[in-house]
Amino acid sequence: MDYLEPMTAAVRAAANIYRSAKNDLHIEVKGEDKNNLVTAYDKQIQDFLYKKLSAAFPGCAFLGEEGGGKIEVPMGLCFIIDPIDGTTNFIRNFEHSAISVGLAVDRKMVAGVVYDVDKDNLYAAQRGCGATLNGRAIHANRSDLDHSLLLFGSCPYERELAHRTFQMVEKAYTRVLEIRRTGSAALDICYVASGKADLYFELILRPWDYAAAVVIVEEAGGVICTTENQPMPIDQIVGVRCGNGKNLAEFDALVQNL
C-alpha cells in the first residue's frame, strides 16, 4: 500500500497554516519549563493533520506532541506527529523548522514525511522504497569520523544533561570536520539521511521528534540507534545517535567514558 501519497498531501496542505503565521503567535509555556514553548499554529497544524489523515485512513490512531496524556502507540495504524519541530526557531523566524509525520503499522515504523516548509524541502520514505528529497533519491554518506560534519541537540527541556552534552561536543570537536546545532531533531536526522551532514546525537528525544525521520535515514542507508546502542523504539523517550556504521563506532569509542 502506498502510504506516502496521502501523507504527503496532508503535510503539504498543513504547510499553508505554517505559512499563514503572523506576528501574534499566541505563545504559551508548556508545564513549568520556560523553554518549552507552543504556539497556536502548533495546535492548528496538529488538528488539521488529524482531520486530513483520519479522512484518508479511517480508524487510525494518533500520538502528537500537543496531545498530552500517555505516550503510547497502539496496534493498527498510528500517526506520530510533531506539528512544528523547532518551535523556538519558528517563533523567532529562524526559518529552520519542520512538519513531521511518521506512520506506525502494528507498532512498526513504516513511513515518514518531514517537510522543511521554509526551504520547501520535503523528505519522505516508505519501508522498502528508499528515501527521497523532493522526489529524488537520497543516500547517507560513508564518511569516517575525521571527515564528518556533526550535528547535535542540546536537550533544552532537560538542562541537567547540558554538562554531558557539551563534554561530548568538546571531545568530538578535536576529531570531526565541523559541528552545528540547528534546533530541529527531525531535520538533523534528515540531513544525515541526505548527506548534508554525517553524524547526529541528542541525549533525550521523544517519539514525535524522531519517528518520521527514523524511516527516512534507514531507507537512505544510514544507521540510527539509541545512545545505548539499542534499536530505536517506537514510543519511548530515549537518547539518539545516527550516522553510518563506521563513524558511529568511532564516535562511541571517543565519548564512551564521558
Domain boundaries, the chain: 4-137, 145-255
Q: Which three cell numbers stand for residue 173?
A: 570537536
Return phi, psi of residue 87, to 5°.
-60, -40
- Is pLDDT larger for residue 21 or for residue 49? 49
The per-residue b/e assignment along 247-256, b for 16 or more CB within 10 angstroms, e otherwise, is bbebbeebbe
Annotated catalytic residues are: 65, 82, 84-85, 87, 209
pLDDT at 36: 58
- 147 vs 64: CA distance, rounded Å: 36
Q: Which of 19-28, 76-85, 97-106 has the lowest mean pLDDT?
A: 19-28
Could you write out the DSSP letters of every residue in 20-64? T--S----EE-TT-TT-EE-HHHHHHHHHHHHHHHHHSTT-EEEE
- 38 vs 26: CA distance, rounded Å: 8
- Give the residue from 198, 218, 215, 214 showing the smallest Cα distance to 206: 214
- Evaluate if residue 141 carries a pLDDT over 80: yes
Given this chain, do its domains 4-137 and 145-255 carry the same CATH topology?
no
pLDDT band of residue 229 (cuts 50, 70, 90) is very high
- Evaluate if residue 217 carries a pLDDT over 90: yes
- Evaluate if residue 159 carries a pLDDT over 90: no
- Evaluate if residue 203 carries a pLDDT over 60: yes
Could you write out the DSSP letters of every residue in 146-179? GGPEEEE---TT-GGGHHHHHHHHHHHHTTSSEE
Cα–Cα distances (Å) from 195 to 62, 219, 220, 250, in that order, read 30, 13, 9, 18
> What topology does CATH give the domain 4-137?
Fructose-1,6-Bisphosphatase; Chain A, domain 1 (3.30.540)
- Give the residue from 7, 95, 87, 13 showing the smallest Cα distance to 54: 7
Under DSSP, is residue 143 helix (H, G, I), strand (E, B) or coil? Answer: coil
pLDDT at 106: 98
Cα–Cα distances (Å) from 185 to 86, 107, 192, in that order, read 8, 21, 11
- Evaluate if residue 186 carries a pLDDT over 70: yes
pLDDT band of residue 37 (cuts 50, 70, 90) is low
Cα–Cα distances (Å) from 191 to 11, 118, 184, in that order, read 19, 15, 10
- Evaluate if residue 27 carries a pLDDT over 80: no
Q: Which three cell numbers stand for residue 123?
A: 523528505
The radius of gyration of the chain's CA atoms, rounded to the nearest angstrom, is: 17
What CATH number should be reported for the domain whose range is 145-255? Answer: 3.40.190.80
pLDDT at 66: 80
- Evaluate if residue 225 carries a pLDDT over 70: yes
Residues 6+ apart with CB under 8 A from 237: 71, 204, 205, 206, 207
pLDDT at 32: 55
pLDDT band of residue 128 (cuts 50, 70, 90) is very high
pLDDT at 23: 64
pLDDT at 21: 84
- Evaluate if residue 51 carries a pLDDT over 90: yes
- Evaluate if residue 256 carries a pLDDT over 60: yes
Is residue 12 within a helix (H) or strand (E), and if so which, with residue range? helix 4-19
Percentage of the chain lying above the pLDDT 90 cut: 84
Enter the pTM of the model: 0.95
